[in-house]
Structure 1
């Protein structure tokens, strides 16, 4: 069944004009409020700037500050109907009041933080089911940055150091919120050198596509399968379908893992990948000559 909703997953450090969610500097090569990701979220929503937004700060350790930053950022885009939901327990994720707010929302944004908080607090709750139903049946926009992006897929990386990622057992994977299947998402990908985490995750389940999102970079996913790169950086795709061999099942825990014939794609703003056809279409912008 083709979902009517749209999914926007972002690698973290969205350029909202602050450093709230990251210690890394923000990119300077894109005018955020003209071409940025938050504007994409707004323009794709069914009512545009009149849409009802809910900012889900559950993953964050500084939810009040993060919520305030998003309210200010969307206000600069003329979006005024923005609420913040800091749900911290499964009881709250089942409350009628909070469920009603999610049902009424046109846009739901999951902020950064700890993705395990998202899966453990929301998984199997009333709000989780409402979100899944809305994504399938309504033209809702569900967006997630950093932890919110990592938790968007059915499979979710929640732990694993970058330098030791290709040691057996180092990368930890569990179930995510399941808006999209057949992929696994890692974030802050380029800046934190997480290629090893994605290679390991894909080698352990070659039928899924590994998605590595750079900061202030994301994917706009429509129809459940058409993924368009947006933002100022890169998206790395790791495709294990043609992997020919790995010693993953043979080595002891903590030992290095070998992988043969993994396919890697690099996407930038405007490139499109079809999950059904496994095809990347690269956008070739026109170069304007400088006199």
Structure 2
């Protein structure tokens, strides 16, 4: 049964597909369990049949009623009657990894884009891994250098599909050392919350609350009410940022997008001043 809430499962890439499949299992469960009708959006990958069939095998093994590929190689494909009909019946829509620029160049502002957003509003679960995670905000990281200090020129930004507007998302986060590029993106864009998702880890977004699942962590950077030197430097000079908040949340922790507060795995709000004081007594 579909939920009235908007639900997103945003995966940092390299999720388990062979063993317990915790993250993909959660997607199938939220999409209707054994009654789930899942479509696999392969726009990001250059191997749509191979990648799509791999996910079909996983979703069928987990018990989904139906799983099928919707491949869009061109923008014309994004107005095909078969693709639009598949979306209209889907309870779960899954975007594969690959190149996030391919997703937006083919799908954004098409009939298919509007149909997916309509199903999302009606309760279908949207999930995406790697490139499929990067495109979730309204502004996404198209590409950028990893393992470097924050600078203006290390990233290229572009429009995303806007399922979770007002934030920036990066994937393969710990594994590729992407803190510098996430901060660079935040300083340049009109967004002040950044989420860096480790591999085989996901943030499940429901009713403006994020829950962490999987084996790694989600790093949250909050740059609201901070100082930066963006207006004082040249393109190849280092960014400075002062007063940013950093949260690193593993499985079971949550984050409230409205209050910007972490929620501990026991369900209590993380009041940092109180917690720090109790830890030092």
Same fold judged by TM-score > 0.5? yes
Question: Which of the two has greater helix per residue?
Answer: 2
Matches within 5 A, 1:80-159: 80-136=65-121, 138-159=122-143
Q: Tell me if the contact between 2:36 and 2:64 (Cα under 8 Å) persists in the aligned partners.
A: yes
Q: Determine the structure 2 residue equivalent to 1:39.
A: 25
1:67 match: secondary structure: helix
Whether 1:168 aligns to 2:152 is: yes
**Cα distance in 1, alignment partners of residues 149 and 160 from structure 2:** 20
- Separation in 2 of the partners of 1:79 and 1:51? 5
Q: Structure 1: where are the runs of 5+ without partners?
A: 18-30, 286-291
CA contact (8 A) 2:147 2:176 kept: no
User: Which structure 1 residue ranges, 4+ long, deviate > 3 Å from structure 2?
Assistant: none
Q: Counterparts of 1:206 and 1:57 in 2: how far apart (Å)?
A: 29
Q: Partner of 1:11 in structure 2?
A: 12
Structure 1 residue 284: deviation in Å? 4.3
Please point out which of 254, 260, 263 is paired with 2:242: 260
Residues 230-254 of structure 1, C-alpha deviations (whole Å, 9 max, x = no match): 11110000000031x2222221112
Matched, 1:242 2:225: yes
Q: Distance in 2 between matches of 1:165 and 1:98?
A: 42
Please name the residue that 2:271 is paired with. Answer: none
Normalized against structure 1, the TM-score is what?
A: 0.87
RMSD: 1.6
